[in-house]
Amino acid sequence: MHRIIIHLVVFVTLIFLLIDSDHIPFRASSADHHPVFSDIAVRADEEELRQEIEAVRKEVEQPAENARIDKIWKKIPGKAGIKVNVEASLEKMKKVGTFDRELLVVEEVEPEITLDELQPSPIYRAREDQEQIALLINVSWGEEHIPAILQTLKDANVKANFFIEGKWAKENNQLVEMIKEEGHVIGNHAYNHPDMKRMNKVDSAEQISQTNEIIHAITGDKPIYFAPPSGSFNDGVIQAASDQGMETILWSVDTIDWQKPTVPVMMKRVTEKLHPGAFILMHPTPVVEAGLEEMLKAIEDKGYSVSTLDTILNEGR
């Protein structure tokens, strides 16, 4: 009897040991421990993430738009497209283990035709979807109004585009330096304000290059934008500027400030014609000095911001 009890105790002990063992032959391994099941689970998770990324990709991606020559507005900048890098997005999301739209890797796609690949032609405005406008201030006189105009621009944290005549720049070095120091774009407005439509290409090129040399000597920079005086030009003028690596800039909204309008009249001209991507022409005149602050406020109220040509003509996003 004593021997039977001992055998029974030993048998029960062995049963408990087997139950606690990881080596029971008939015990199933969990997917967490089995490499085959684990790999299947990982692949399933990756595929689910990939499907979610692909679904959003169709919503996010946008094709690039080529620069073009419009019948009315001539050169119009293009616009970069948007592409989702699926593999890079997947790798980022795998690290956090879940889909997160903020982790999408988005890349720009350049237009097939960019602005500088188009044939020489003037630029009157930026893209139709551009929520920015540019101020063009042509300078060949009116130096007494420039300090106040610069102060108004500074107070509004706005940068403009000053197109400066070469002869005027020689006589007003300090004002040119002041414009440069304030961070505004300086362009070329020919040397002595000629009617360039009546000029040949050689003489036009001389007007442009002479002014470039003067501005470079004062600022250290060579202008890349040219504004023909009074908007007068011919094909030779445009080609002469292009040969020197410059875009010819005109305008789509005119203050006609040289006719000495009142501030309300000037404001009416601007606000009635303001549009996305507008280029607003003005000069250092008494009415601009008096009305610039109000103009900037009206532009802001219509939902636009003021940018330099470098920004507004940029084809990236």
Mean pLDDT of 186-191: 98
Per-residue confidence (pLDDT) for residue 43, from 0 to 100: 58
Per-residue confidence (pLDDT) for residue 58, from 0 to 100: 87
Q: Does residue 34 surpass a pLDDT of 80?
A: no
Per-residue confidence (pLDDT) for residue 45, from 0 to 100: 83
Dist. CA 127–CA 17, nearest whole Å: 80
Per-residue confidence (pLDDT) for residue 13, from 0 to 100: 52
Q: Does residue 279 surpass a pLDDT of 80?
A: yes
Our CA angle for 213, 194, 278, nearest 5°, is: 85
- What does the block give as tokens for 8? 């029974």
Beta strand 81-84 with 74-76 is: unpaired
Q: Does residue 255 surpass a pLDDT of 50?
A: yes
Dist. CA 139–CA 221, nearest whole Å: 18
Mean pLDDT of 81-105: 94
pLDDT band at 290 (very low <50, low <70, confident <90, very high): very high
Dist. CA 189–CA 230, nearest whole Å: 10
Q: Does residue 264 surpass a pLDDT of 50?
A: yes
- What does the block give as tokens for 299? 């532009």
DSSP state of 54: H
Residue entry with tokens 């005549």: 165
Q: Is 81 helix (H, G, I), strand (E, B) or coil?
A: strand
pLDDT band at 18 (very low <50, low <70, confident <90, very high): very low
What phi and psi, each to the nearest 5 degrees, are found at residue 154?
A: -65, -45
Q: What is the pLDDT of residues 70-79, one digit of tens each?
A: 999 999 999 9
The greatest distance separating any two alpha carbons of the chain, rounded to the nearest whole angstrom, comes to 132
Per-residue confidence (pLDDT) for residue 317, from 0 to 100: 81
Per-residue confidence (pLDDT) for residue 240, from 0 to 100: 98
Q: Give the distance from CA 159 to its chain's centroid.
A: 15
Question: Which residues partner with 249 through β-bridges?
Answer: 123
- What pTM does this model have? 0.82
Per-residue confidence (pLDDT) for residue 40, from 0 to 100: 52
The end-to-end CA distance of the chain, in Å, is 93
Q: Does residue 17 surpass a pLDDT of 50?
A: no
Distances (CA, A) of 183 to 110, 138, 177, 290: 28, 16, 10, 22
Per-residue confidence (pLDDT) for residue 114, from 0 to 100: 96
pLDDT band at 44 (very low <50, low <70, confident <90, very high): low
Q: What is the pLDDT of residues 110-162, one digit of tens each?
A: 999 999 999 999 999 999 999 999 999 999 999 999 999 999 999 999 999 99
